[in-house]
Amino acid sequence: MSLFSNKGLSEAEIAHKRYKIKHRVTSIAGPIARFFVLFGMCFVIMYPLMYMVSTAFSPQAEMSDPSRIWIPKKIIFSNLVDAWHAMSYPKTFWTTLYLNLGSSLIQVLACALTGYGFARFKFKGQGFLFGIVIMMIIVPPQILSIPVFMQFFNFPLGSLINTPFAMYLPALFANGLRAGLFILIFRQFFKGLPKELEDAAYLDGCGPFKTFVRVMAPNAGSSFLTVFLFSIVWYWNDSYVSVIFVNNLAPMSVMVQNLSMHMAQQIYGKTDIPGTELIVWMEAGALLSILPILIMYVFLQKYFTEGIERSGIVG
């Protein structure tokens, strides 16, 4: 019986057959269409990265060669070496590391405490205070940076500008980069934990703080890790706050912003070089600057992508 002849079939059988044909067509065409859409989008995402890697290993002379498309005719490492020196990479990396890790760590702890306070206790003015947390998410740092700068500059114990404390202090008081979002995540997570945990801890004679340290925090492991990783990434990538508060310490993001200047100085010995002359070195520098984060992402990828699902923002 051929698929396309309807001879001698009842209405119902024809309908069923139509359904089957339709089903077969969609079950073949669907995955193909899906593949093309996803592949295309992935290509759009990967394009600049592939471009960056490809350029970083090319000689400058090849950049104007139209016959070279992706793979350099001659793979060289000297761009990376030059960029390494121009960025004084080891020192920059170390500065970024202690600024980032320090701030992220302190910030995660402070935000966890705050989120826990909002999630598990009832007190006067809670709604109002939580409204302020939401405000913290919405108000951009551009509005706040100047007054905070003045406060840091005229700090009673001496200017905090260009010291690590300019980053550590806000983090310690749960007001670092995107702290509002982190408090929200922790609040949602701790709200989801069962009340019985708390009661059991209470019967065993734990005070609220001990309950938090011994019972609640160990359960929040994956939340802590997710927030910590996001915090690191956002501190690493932040250029606005770093430039204002710790410009002279020159963490990675500040270095990247002034990359063309550093590169021109390193390679040509003067600063007024058009960008087109510097492409290969700029790309090499960009590659170096995101390499640590990329490596971290490759290894901890599931904590980023699954973290949001588990952190309890949803549901």
Distance of closest approach, residue 301 Cβ to another protein, in angstroms: 5
CB of 35 to another protein, least distance (A): 8
For residue 131, give Cα distances in angstroms to 68, 164, 180. 56, 30, 10
Tokens of 262: 């550093």
Of 88 and 145, CB closest to another protein: 145
Q: What angle do CA 93, 292, 241 make, to 5 degrees?
A: 60
Window contacting another protein (CB under 8 A); options: 2-10, 47-55, 87-95, 217-225: 47-55
Cα-trace Rg, the chain: 27
- With CB under 8 A as the rule, give the number of residues binding another protein: 95
Residue 142 in the binding site for another protein (CB under 8 A): yes
The reply on whether position 66 binds another protein by CB under 8 A is yes
Q: Find the binder of another protein among 161, 233, 261, 273 (CB under 8 A).
A: 233
How far is residue 221's CA from residue 198's CA, in Å, rounded to a whole number? 17
Closest by alpha carbon to 79, among 298, 258, 259, 236?
A: 259
Residues 254-293 that bind another protein (CB under 8 A): 256-257, 259, 275-276, 279, 282-283, 285-286, 289-290, 293
34 binds another protein (CB under 8 A): yes
The residues in 162-221 that bind another protein, with binding defined as CB under 8 A, are: 170, 172-175, 183, 202, 205-209, 212
Site membership for another protein, residue 37 (CB under 8 A): yes
Q: Give CA separation, 295 vs 100, 222, 239, in Å.
A: 16, 20, 21
Q: 55 or 92, CB closer to another protein?
A: 55
Q: Which of 89, 165, 224, 234 binds another protein (CB under 8 A)?
A: 234
Tokens 């600049």 belong to 48
CA angle 166, 290, 137 (to 5 degrees): 50
Residue 251 contacts another protein per CB under 8 A: no
Minimum distance from CB of 8 to another protein (Å)?
25
CB 214 within 8 A of CB 206: yes
* Residue closer to another protein, measured from CB, 163 or 237: 237
CA distances from 134 to 21, 120, 130, 175, 202 (A): 52, 18, 6, 12, 31
x-or-dash pattern for another protein, window 96-125, by CB under 8 A? --------------xx-xx-xxx-xxxxx-
Q: Is 305 in the site for another protein (CB under 8 A)?
A: yes
Binding piece for another protein, criterion CB under 8 A, among 71-79, 89-97, 126-134, 220-228: 126-134
Q: Choose which of 139, 221, 268, 271 interacts with another protein (CB under 8 A).
A: 139
Burial of 132 (0-12, 13-18, 19+ CB in 10 A): exposed
